[in-house]
Amino acid sequence: MSQESAEPGDDAFRQAEKGKPARADAQRNLGALLDAALAVFAASGVDAPVREIAAKAGVGVGTLYRHFPQRADLVGAVFRREVDACADAAPALAAEYAPGEALARWMQRYAAFIATKRGLAGALHSGDPSYSCLPDYFQARLVPALRQLLDAAIAAGEIRADVEADELLNAAARLGMQAREDRPGHAERMVALLVDGLRYGAASAIPRP
């Protein structure tokens, strides 16, 4: 969830509510559950058996349900954690690489993130209110992150200036989703192509056809 407020059923909630730090083992297990869920979701989708996640984390199912009373709580927590990691990668890449290169690398990072989300898209649009806030979080975190990279690259004259962050994010998501096991590297190449398109006509915005 957003940084300022956690929701019931999430451990951070209780901690913020009562000002009492969670017990050490509880913190450890929470992290283990998120790690395990990330791996299992990627391998088997968001409908993977709860027991499998608990087993991979080395805890009992009771512990899992203590931390995440509803399945959506776990899915949301994993999702947000990954969105955050992806968003945070933007300034890190910007600090290490030239603007254009940072942008290209971040787009690959983002597409790879999307590729692991097969099955989640369906859940997101399933009408389940538990998931309704996730798309907003997604937008709120990633659009500014990308915009920073874009602006820097534009300022450096490395890319054209006539593309918006949100449309680029959406386009890359479409490309990232079509990752297939029978076409390794396809999505990556397409995203790279997209970024090369930005480079074409750099510093002198080509009028749209």
Which residues of the shown chain bind DNA in the complex (CB under 7 A)? Answer: 11, 14, 20, 22-26, 29, 47-51, 58-63, 65-67, 69-71
Structure-token pair, residue 144 = 């500014």
Provide the 8-state DSSP code for 130: G
48 or 86, CB closer to DNA?
48
Closest contact distance (angstroms) between CB of 38 and a second copy is 19
Number of residues in contact with a second copy under rule CB under 8 A: 8
Closest CA to 163 of 145, 150, 149: 150
Q: Which token pair is 200?
A: 């074409």
Report how far residue 142's alpha carbon sits from residue 148's, in angstroms, rounded to the nearest whole number: 10
Site string for a second copy, 125-164 (x = CB under 8 A): xxx-------------------------------------
**CB of 149 within 8 A of CB of 94?**
yes
Contact flags string 88-127 toward a second copy, x per CB under 8 A: ------------------------------xx-xxx-xxx
Q: Kindly list the distances between the CA atom of residue 148 and the CA atoms of 111, 136, 151, 160, in Å, as whole numbers in the listed order.
A: 18, 19, 5, 14
Q: Which does 61 bind (CB under 5 to 8 A by kind): a second copy, DNA, none?
A: DNA
Question: Tokens in use for 145?
Answer: 């992150």
Q: Please identify, using beta-carbon distances, which residue of 125 and 183 lies nearer to a second copy.
A: 125
Please give the residue ranges that form the binding site for a second copy (CB under 8 A).
Answer: 118-119, 121-123, 125-127
